[in-house]
Amino acid sequence: MFGRDDVILSCTVNYVTDCILRRVNLDRYDDRLMVRTNMIESFDLIMGFIQKHTPDPFYLEGVQSISIRDAIARELVSNILAHRELNTAIPARIIIEKDRIYADNYNRSNLFGPLDPNTFSPKPKNPLIAQFFTNISYADQLGSGVRNLFKYTPIFSEGGEPQLIEGDMFQTIIPLSKSYVAALEAGQSDIKSDTDGTLNGTLNGTLKSDERRVLELLKYNPQIKREEIAVSISKSVRTVQRILDSLTEKGIVKRGGAKRATIWEIVKDDI
């Protein structure tokens, strides 16, 4: 499963992950990606599809900015790759709809029904693949993924809860936030890539996700340096400078202080 594509397809019945965006055209799809390559490249491709079509709200864990969207997507993708039943003609699917992310894959089930994070006992479906994913940091120790979904989904979804339903098809449902759905319905959402190739969505108001992240950091520490912001939001210094310029042009922040001791003043709070 980590080798050449022709070898993989010769060993599996129908190894494919079908990624679908279905918001406007509910009978078919608005975007689609069929992933048939090795598991490492599949992980990156499926993550990129989710990043392209879902919002990434600002979130601070302690003093570190993290992407809760990516934390949730990581668990979805690692599960659908590492724990699927490979000896079947049924493809795995990830479907992004207007109000939720839905994933399912054929499964050798240990039980039937919704999973309770407080009582379930995790059992690996493909233990060697699961261990490899853990070793390369594409997944955490068995059971941690479920707990992470229940930890981060209420933040990502503004109070929503994930649903994990085990059966012949293992299903995962992650609701999207009500404010994001409202923005979609109002035609105000703008999921697009920036010049660094990263993917973020326009949220409420006039600010994009990265602008909101930077604004939160400026509010937390008005004397924070560009290099510190870049590390915190995992962007380049050049991208941070572009974001600061945009916030300044919009009249949201104002630069003050000496040249080497900048102090950022929040003029208009849009969060």
The domain that holds 248 is classified in CATH as: 1.10.10.10
Q: Are residues 132 and 241 in the same domain?
A: no
Is a pLDDT exceeding 90 seen at residue 256?
no
In a domain, 193, yes or no: no
Q: Is residue 190 included in any domain, yes or no? A: no
Q: What dihedral angle (degrees, nearest 10) is formed by the CA atoms of 86, 105, 23, 38?
A: -30
With respect to residue 148, please indicate whether it lies within any of the assigned structural domains.
yes
Q: Domain check: are 244 and 113 in the same one? A: no
The answer to whether residue 220 sits within a structural domain is: yes
pLDDT at 156: 95
pLDDT bucket at 87, cuts 50 / 70 / 90: confident
Residues 83 and 150 in one domain: yes
- Of 263 and 160, which is predicted with more confidence? 160
Q: Which residue has the higher pLDDT, 92 or 192?
A: 92
Q: What is the pLDDT of residues 23-63, one digit of tens each?
A: 887 778 899 999 988 888 999 999 999 998 999 888 888 87
The pair of structure tokens assigned to 14 is: 């129908």
Same domain, 158 and 37: yes
Is pLDDT of 2 > 80? no
Specify whether 77 is located in the same domain as 10.
Answer: yes
Q: Is the pLDDT of residue 258 over 90?
A: no
Strand partners, 197: none
Q: Which of 163, 180, 197 is the last residue of a domain?
A: 180
117, 145, 180: which is the final residue of a domain?
180
Per-residue confidence (pLDDT) for residue 207, from 0 to 100? 67
Longest Cα separation, the chain:
65
Assign residue 55 the CATH number of its domain: 3.30.565.60
For residues 171 and 220, membership in a common domain is answered with: no
Predicted confidence (pLDDT) at residue 187 exceeds the cutoff of 80: no
Per-residue confidence at 205, pLDDT binned at 50, 70, 90?
Answer: very low
- Given a contact cutoff of 8 angstroms between Cβ atoms, the answer to whether 202 and 188 are in contact is yes
pTM over the 0.75 mark: no
Q: Specify whether 47 is located in the same domain as 139.
A: yes
Note whether 12 and 129 are same-domain residues: yes
Residue 226 and residue 98 share a domain: no
- DSSP secondary structure code for residue 271 in this structure: -
Residues 37 and 87 in one domain: yes
Domain span holding position 209: 205-266
Domain finish residue from 131, 165, 180: 180
Q: Is 89 a member of any domain?
A: yes
In a domain, 26, yes or no: yes
pLDDT at 121 over 70: yes
What distance in Å separates the CA atoms of residue 128 and residue 132, rounded to the nearest whole number? 6
Cβ contacts of 159 within 8 Å, gap of 6 or more:
none
pLDDT value at residue 237: 87
Give the pLDDT of residue 216: 80
Tell me the mean pLDDT in the region 97-109: 91
Tally the domains of the chain: 2
Same domain, 144 and 244: no
185 inside domain: no
**In sequence order, which ranges of 58-204 are alpha helices (DSSP H)?**
68-82, 127-135, 144-156, 178-185
Same domain, yes or no: 171 and 229: no
Q: Return the SS3 of 78.
A: helix
Query: Residue 232 domain-assigned?
Result: yes
